[in-house]
Chain A
Amino acid sequence: MQLTDTKITCYHCGLECEEEQIEFDNRAFCCNGCKVVYEILSENQLCEYYDITKFPGQSQKSKHKSSAKFSILDKPEIKSKLVRFTNGTETHIAFFLPQIHCSSCVWLLENLNRLNAGVLSSRVDFTIKEISIIYDESKTNLQQIAELLASVGYEPYLNFNDIASKKTDTVERGLIYKLGIAGFCFANIMMLSFPEYFSDGTVDHQLKTIFNYLNLGLSLPVFFYSASLFYRSAWAGLKRKFLNIDAPIVLAVVITFLRSVYEIVSGTGAGFLDSMSGIVFFMLVGRYLQDRTYRKLSFERDYRSYFPIAVTVKTASNEEENLPITDVKVGDRIVIKNHEMIPADSILFTGQANIDYSFVTGESVPVRVMPGEIIYAGGKQVGSALEMEVVKEVSNSYLTQLWNKDVFNDHEDKKQSYVHAISRYFTVVLFSLAGLTAIYWGIYDSSRILNAVSAMLIIACPCTLLLSSTFTNGNVLRIFSRNNFYLKNATVIESIAEADTIIFDKTGTITQTGETKVHYIGKALLEVEKQQIRTVTNQSVHPYSTAISAYLPKVNSLAINSLTEVPGFGLEAKVDSTLIRIGSANYLGVNDDSVNTAGKVYIAINEQVLGCFTITNQYRSGIDKLIQKLKNHYSLLLLSGDNEAEKNYLSSVFSDESVLNFNQTPETKLDFIKNYQAKGKKVMMIGDGLNDAGALKQSNIGIAVSDEINNFSPACDAILAGDELKNLPTFIRYAKATKVIVMASFVISILYNFIGLSFAMQGTLSPVIAAILMPASSLTIILFTTSISSFIAKIWQMK
């Protein structure tokens, strides 16, 4: 038994055992789910799981063993979409397990074959929370494996997206190959060039020729393979009539290569191949650091990632059958159980519908729906099972229509970094200088024109400009991610710095998901009354009931004689012989003439109204400070899908009522942002959930706030952990500092360019000077940008 401060904690998940406490094997468990997992593991001698990390499990208390519908996994059309490889006997499959969080998880999941002999091998990729399983088709099947994972607390996260599009291997190995090969060739060319640079003429001419040709051979993979990335990017820019920074770089690389080939073949020199491969290598390192995407995060989620993989359908013969969601047709009868999501707009047939639309609209209170009324896709049922008839296909429902809007089909990234603009000035200046040099030598010594001009183009390659931005951005992205702020790519840093309007969503963004603040106003309650009220509210799953239960002292429940719940209105119960009624003002017949009745729950004991609980959202800590800090520099707005219940509080925080907008639909949110942009504003949208998806996409920078970083966030430019929201001003300041750092390092690189150019213009640039200048400037830039950006992060107390 785990005893800490006289509180008993669950052996499996470490949560405090409240009134319910199960003892098994001399250990305490908070719920039956945790106990079952322990039982399975102890039967199979897998209890080492509990030794590696303390409390490795996740609470099974709130897990709704959602008839996860794994039976459909073995249907050929579903299976073919999920498996990565199969030869009929051996099959490879990967599941996303968001529960993976510690080394115990890795240990248990990699020992799956001790629980199911059909599993040949299981491998966990911790960063992307994925398990790759190879299993024997003759011994087990997908359904059994999925059920096994669910039984030990790792239910595979399957969604509509998995079956709607075939998964491709996302691992980007190309860049690693290019980087490795460029590094290899660079180092060897450098080594083979030493005799040329440092010999005093004693090296045999024939040997020098051999070295030169070896260098040429080694430079071919760099020129044709490693550098191909830049050719493609430059070409893509030119095709769109845009001169990006890669274009002058490609020009420099090509000129360096051609001049080197000419010198080597004609026997007039050793060329600049080491400089060329060095440049390519350093630039690839910069690219790698900057583009290292957060594999574990997805920035492109649409509604399909949220919808379940299967749904229960009633067949003509009244039997329940699980069907893939893609096969659901208009007219089908579907069955939705507690906490399941409605996948398509449907008409309620039977059952007590209490639909939680918080996901779609931001409205935090479930909506009561009567039979015959329509229920929109994306809502979740809270309560007993429902039967409904599908009226619109999944892809045509009210919610998913948002994704048919133009914003979602406009893939072109129009944002162009200032780096490209600077590189264009750089190129213009360089070409004018080259022209002047050519004219000068044309007058004095025309044999040196080609030498001087080509040397200028070689040495003044804008690659140090590129290094400045890629290394700074790479380091900034890394520091942001340490602070749980994950950006989609480097251009997002600029967008953050440029924003002038910040729009907040309310539910789930500035409020703490699942947490509420409860106040009681009225006649003081006796201990026994509190106990009675809690007994009743414990019986309901309505968020107000659970909030009240959590607010009242934890005591044992009393016996209930009768209980009726009128969903959406209230509860009536007899505890012993006391009649307790809890619910809205209407339900209890209280005359409440205040404007806002939302969030008020009245209590009546034996028909006597005692008072009411007001339930408000719990705002994240530090929100008012955050707003105060941002208010002076930005125009702030609130766009909420929720009702006006908390208008008073929010207008005190924002100290301005006009910026608060309530009862917004996903579409009006999107249009709202469009209007602001039409006025020339750069909008930063901070939201969560699907109801903000359009707004996040439309805004100049969409930041999704999420408490579970790995799970649920809509398409966006950046993902921010909920408890880091209060640090947003620091993040914005840091994004602005990034630009200053890049500019400062541009200045340094231009100084180096001056030195190089002064040699080149005189026509005296030798390979050895190029070979010293090039790595020296690159290393200076790398050290400067990374150390300055890390230093600033440190003094601003970022992690």
Chain B
Amino acid sequence: MSAIIILLIISLLVAGGFLLAFIFSVRNGQFDDDYTPSIRILFDDKDPESEDRI
């Protein structure tokens, strides 16, 4: 019985972690543009200093 309670808490924590990750990624704008990243990933990084950051 107590083992189930502990597992329950762990499972909810894991699930909650994913929920937080989801909320963070929406807030971060990762869902705003679902096309450009697919282009961007194919570029060679010849000049590491020019890496963009947002």
A123 touches B52 (CB 8 A): yes
- Does B6 lie at the interface of the complex (its beta carbon under 8 Å from any beta carbon of A)? no
Q: What residues on A are CB-neighbors of B32 within 8 Å?
A: 125, 171, 173
Q: Mark A124-163, 1 if CB is under 8 A from B, else 0.
A: 1111100010100000000000000000000000000000
Nearest-Cβ distance from residue A673 to partner chain B, whole angstroms:
37
Q: Mark A401-422, 1 if CB is under 8 A from B, else 0.
A: 0000000000000000000000
Among the listed A127, A134, A171, which residue makes an inter-chain contact with B36, where contact means beta carbons less than 8 Å apart? A127
- Does A111 lie at the interface of the complex (its beta carbon under 8 Å from any beta carbon of B)? yes
Q: What residues on B are CB-neighbors of A123 within 8 Å?
A: 36, 52, 54
Nearest-Cβ distance from residue A193 to partner chain B, whole angstroms:
13
Q: Mark A68-106, 1 if CB is under 8 A from B, else 0.
A: 000000000000000000000000000000000001001
Among the listed B19, B26, B39, B44, which residue makes an inter-chain contact with A176, where contact means beta carbons less than 8 Å apart? B26
Nearest-Cβ distance from residue B12 to partner chain A, whole angstroms:
8
B39 touches A173 (CB 8 A): no
- C-alpha gap A180/B24 in the complex (Å): 12
B22 touches A180 (CB 8 A): yes
- C-alpha gap A177/B27 in the complex (Å): 9
- Does A107 lie at the interface of the complex (its beta carbon under 8 Å from any beta carbon of B)? yes
Interface size class of A (residues with CB under 8 A): 20 to 34
A111 touches B33 (CB 8 A): no
Q: Mark A204-227, 1 if CB is under 8 A from B, else 0.
A: 100100100010000000000000
Interface size class of B (residues with CB under 8 A): 20 to 34
Q: Mark B1-35, 1 if CB is under 8 A from A, else 0.
A: 10011001000100100110011001101011111
- C-alpha gap A177/B24 in the complex (Å): 10
Nearest-Cβ distance from residue B3 to partner chain A, whole angstroms:
11
A184 touches B19 (CB 8 A): yes
B23 touches A126 (CB 8 A): no
Contact flag A184-B33 (CB < 8 Å), given A103-B39, A207-B4: no
Contact flag A114-B50 (CB < 8 Å), given A103-B42, A181-B19: yes
Q: What residues on A are CB-neighbors of B52 within 8 Å?
A: 110, 121-123
Contact flag A127-B35 (CB < 8 Å), given A177-B23, A180-B26, A184-B15: yes
Among the listed A107, A127, A207, A214, which residue makes an inter-chain contact with B33, where contact means beta carbons less than 8 Å apart? A127
Nearest-Cβ distance from residue A545 to partner chain B, whole angstroms:
41
- Does A188 lie at the interface of the complex (its beta carbon under 8 Å from any beta carbon of B)? yes
B54 touches A126 (CB 8 A): no
30 example contacts (A-B, Cβ-Cβ < 8 A) are as follows A103-B43, A106-B39, A106-B40, A110-B40, A110-B52, A111-B50, A121-B53, A121-B54, A122-B52, A123-B36, A123-B52, A123-B54, A125-B32, A125-B33, A125-B36, A126-B33, A126-B35, A126-B39, A127-B33, A127-B35, A132-B54, A173-B31, A173-B32, A180-B22, A184-B15, A184-B18, A184-B22, A188-B12, A188-B15, A204-B1
